[in-house]
Amino acid sequence: MLRHFWIAILAIAGMLLPCTGRALEFGIHDQLEVGARLMYFQLKDDERGDRNNWDLERNFIGSIWGLEEKQSYLPKPYIQYAIIKYAGVGLSYDELTIKTVDWGNLEGTVKGGDGDCMIRGPVVYVFGRYPNSTRFTPFAELGYIYYFADFEEDPAWAAVGPGYRFEVDDTGSQYVAAGCDIRIKGQWQAGIYFRQLYNADVDARAYFSPGPRVGRSGSFPFDSRQFGLELSYRF
């Protein structure tokens, strides 16, 4: 999905490049921006049940009492367009992965887990910015992300019995973000970025047989704080 998103962004930029020079002649510039962000995230809710495998009421699901972030430092692309000088709309991509955690032994001294849950999908947003005479342009975003969810079972857990598996539901999430662009040279700029993700719960079900009977149900909350560095080109 990320590769296809990059192809779409490059195609759009390629179609718009021939118009850039003419747009500058009429004084219409700094409207289209294409860039990428390196992101780091921290879960807001990563431990429940007092690290007790058998606290089935309070754990995330079954014996899973913990969640750990699996960071990815692949650039996440975005493209945005300023409808007016101070505001516009944008399209981006986001992807997050968490590792499930429980105790791998009866003594509670070795961590284990049932697998990893991944969410990824398109981001649509509106933004406001404050252009000024300095190199620094502060901005804010309000957006929505539709996440496609997937679960990759740990091979050891899946081998416990036939039909051992997880099923997870897609979800939608809202976010607010803020940052500051810093002009480097010409139309190139770098920046810092902060995002707060809300309502990103992924409903999950664990099965312990090949049939449709659900063994355990729960959810994985992806609500998080995200920090990023960005590099972009403004046409």
More confident residue, 34 or 2: 34
User: Can you tell me the distance from the alpha carbon of 187 to that of 59, in angstroms, rounded to the nearest whole number?
Assistant: 50
**Residue 204: its H or E element:** strand 201-208
Residues of the chain with pLDDT > 70, as a percent, come to 88
Please give the pLDDT value at position 62: 95
For residue range 24-57, list pLDDT tens digits in order.
443 446 799 999 999 999 999 999 999 999 999 9
Please give the pLDDT value at position 108: 82
The mean pLDDT value for 60-77 works out to 96
Q: What is the DSSP string of 100-120?
A: EEEESSTTS-SEE-SEEEEEE
Determine the 3-state secondary structure of 86 from DSSP: coil
Here the tokens at position 61 are 């699901």
Please give the pLDDT value at position 12: 44
For residue range 165-175, list pLDDT tens digits in order.
999 999 999 99
pLDDT band at residue 109 under the 50/70/90 scheme: confident
Please give the pLDDT value at position 29: 64
Please give the pLDDT value at position 15: 45
Question: pTM here?
Answer: 0.86
For residue range 147-158, list pLDDT tens digits in order.
999 999 999 999
**What average pLDDT does the chain have?**
90
User: Can you tell me the distance from the alpha carbon of 147 to that of 145, in angstroms, rounded to the nearest whole number?
Assistant: 6
pLDDT band at residue 3 under the 50/70/90 scheme: low
Closest by alpha carbon to 146, among 212, 74, 202? 202
